[in-house]
């Protein structure tokens, strides 16, 4: 819970959603249920659980219908009809290990409460503008611009900036079709534009829009992370020292400006993407100094237990305990690159020598 970190939520297979109280150390299963006289609930193996960006006490969970709780999961309300194809030929018996025709992704608009997007594993894309009272099936509108109706909906992402804007990633890799399917709407799903352009022939697992620069987009596929500086017109691999690995989740930390990358099998990777917010300006210049991100001074002491545990626990380095200076050079230079830090009166505090290679330097 971003406003009260006493509460932590998690889900496991078939939506065994739970809430953990960090104060009392109690864990409570909060998964929604139905009475026996209604159709059995179908949950995806990785059923989505989301907190509302407007009120984190409001929790959403997806089965074949969308559930909403306004009391952190203690009670639930169904706020949709069946949002899948509800195709009996695709639905497994209630006791089967894997269910089909299920909700796979949920996203509520940060700009307007009650605008909620839902995607399903049998290709549906649905949106409500009134908290679930009415739903629009946008699946055929996506198909008009090349998004197959039978393609699994991996991710819907409601824009930070406009209530009617959202992004959509679909996948047909289960049908041996590895093309990328990535789309954007600005009119609540009535029309869509393809933005996969030069992405490689790999299905897209996740899309994320930066919360400072609306043209800065990130996608994760089975080859890593790709970035676009122009709203999806051109994509570039964001490599560095990260291995070639399937990326299944992304998040830009709203305070730190760090891109957090969740991979399948190679852990969590983090990088500072704040320079990319200005990269379009930088590319027009011979040399460009990026905005310097303010940092609190970190007071470090002997708080670790390495002397007790040795190498039994996985550890990684912290970021530098200081400020980071990033700059761009259009071409490599033969002269020395110098950064001078002065105080408010103009007195030199520190002089630093920088790298001279072309591109982004730190």
Q: What's the pLDDT score for residue 304?
A: 60
Question: DSSP H helical segments within 85-210, as ranges?
Answer: 139-143
Of 7, 80, 6, 70, nearest to 41 by C-alpha is: 80
Q: The whole model's pTM is what?
A: 0.92
Give the integer Cα–Cα distance in Å for 66 and 314.
Answer: 38
Question: Burial of 182 by CB count in 10 Å (0-12 exposed, 13-18 middle, 19+ buried)?
Answer: buried
| Model pLDDT for residues 197-238, shown as the tens digit of each residue | 999 999 999 999 999 999 999 999 999 999 999 999 999 999
Give the integer Cα–Cα distance in Å for 123 and 148.
Answer: 8
Give the integer Cα–Cα distance in Å for 121 and 104.
Answer: 6
Residues 6+ apart with CB under 8 A from 217: 167, 195, 207, 208, 209, 210, 227, 228, 231, 232
Helix (H, G, I), strand (E, B), or coil: what is residue 302?
coil
| Model pLDDT for residues 115-131, shown as the tens digit of each residue | 999 999 999 999 999 99
Give the integer Cα–Cα distance in Å for 156 and 166.
Answer: 7
**Cβ proximity of 286 and 330 under 8 Å:** yes
Identify which of 31-35, 39-43, 66-70, 317-321 has the greatest average pLDDT. 66-70
Of 100, 194, 84, nearest to 139 by C-alpha is: 84
Q: Supply the DSSP symbol for 344.
A: T
């Amino acid at each position: 819970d971003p406003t009260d970190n006493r509460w932590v939520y998690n889900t496991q297979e078939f939506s065994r959603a739970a809430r953990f109280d960090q104060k009392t150390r109690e864990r409570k299963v909060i998964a929604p249920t139905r009475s026996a006289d209604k159709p059995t609930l179908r949950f995806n193996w990785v059923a989505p659980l989301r907190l509302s960006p407007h009120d984190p006490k409001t929790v959403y969970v997806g089965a074949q219908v969308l559930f909403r709780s306004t009391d952190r999961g203690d009670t639930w309300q169904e706020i949709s009809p069946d949002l899948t194809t509800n195709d009996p030929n695709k639905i497994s018996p209630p006791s089967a290990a894997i269910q089909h025709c299920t909700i796979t992704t949920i996203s509520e608009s940060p700009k307007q409460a009650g605008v909620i997007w839902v995607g399903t594993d049998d290709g549906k894309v649905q949106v409500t503008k009134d908290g679930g009272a009415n739903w629009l099936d946008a699946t055929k509108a996506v198909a008009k611009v090349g998004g197959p109706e039978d393609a699994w909906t991996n991710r819907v992402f409601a824009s930070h900036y406009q209530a009617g804007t959202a992004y959509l990633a679909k996948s047909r890799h289960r049908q041996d079709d590895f093309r990328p399917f990535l789309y954007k709407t600005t009119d609540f799903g009535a029309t869509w534009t393809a933005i996969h352009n030069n992405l490689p022939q790999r299905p897209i697992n996740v899309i994320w829009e930066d919360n400072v620069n609306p043209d800065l987009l990130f996608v994760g596929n089975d080859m890593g992370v790709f970035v676009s500086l122009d709203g999806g017109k051109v994509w570039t691999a964001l490599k560095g020292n990260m291995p070639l690995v399937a990326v299944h989740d992304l998040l830009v930390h709203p305070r730190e400006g760090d891109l957090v990358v969740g991979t399948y099998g190679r852990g969590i990777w983090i990088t500072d993407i704040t320079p990319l917010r200005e990269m379009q300006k930088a590319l027009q210049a011979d040399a460009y100094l990026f905005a310097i991100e303010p940092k609190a001074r970190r007071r470090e002491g002997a708080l670790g237990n390495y002397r007790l545990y040795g190498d039994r626990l996985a550890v990684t380095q912290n970021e530098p305990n200081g400020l980071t200076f990033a700059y761009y050079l259009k071409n490599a230079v033969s002269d020395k690159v110098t950064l001078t830090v002065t105080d408010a009166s103009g007195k030199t505090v520190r002089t630093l020598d920088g790298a001279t290679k072309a591109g982004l330097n730190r």
